[in-house]
C-alpha cells in the first residue's frame, strides 16, 4: 500500500488493503470484505 498520511473523514472510503489473518490462515482484503456487505473499520491505538 502506498504511504498515506491524510485523515479519512466519517463516511470516507478507505484505500484498498490486505491483512494476514490473525491465525495466519489466509489473507483478508478490504475489497473482499466489502463484497459481503457493509463494513465498519475501527482502528485502535495501543500495545498488546
Q: Is the pLDDT of residue 19 over 80?
A: yes
Q: Is the pLDDT of residue 24 over 80?
A: yes
Predicted confidence at residue 48, as pLDDT, reads 64
Instruction: Tally Cβ neighbours within 10 Å of residue 48.
Output: 3
pTM for this predicted structure? 0.58
Instruction: Tally Cβ neighbours within 10 Å of residue 28.
Output: 13
Q: Are residues 8 and 14 in contact, defined by beta-carbon separation less than 8 angstroms? A: yes
Alpha helices in 1-48 (DSSP H): 30-34
Instruction: Tally Cβ neighbours within 10 Å of residue 33.
Output: 13
Predicted confidence at residue 36, as pLDDT, reads 94
Amino acid at each position: 500500500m502506498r504511504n498515506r498520511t491524510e485523515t479519512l473523514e466519517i463516511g470516507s472510503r478507505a484505500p484498498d488493503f490486505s491483512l494476514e489473518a490473525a491465525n495466519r490462515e489466509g489473507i483478508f482484503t478490504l475489497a473482499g470484505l466489502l463484497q459481503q456487505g457493509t463494513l465498519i473499520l475501527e482502528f485502535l491505538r495501543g500495545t498488546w
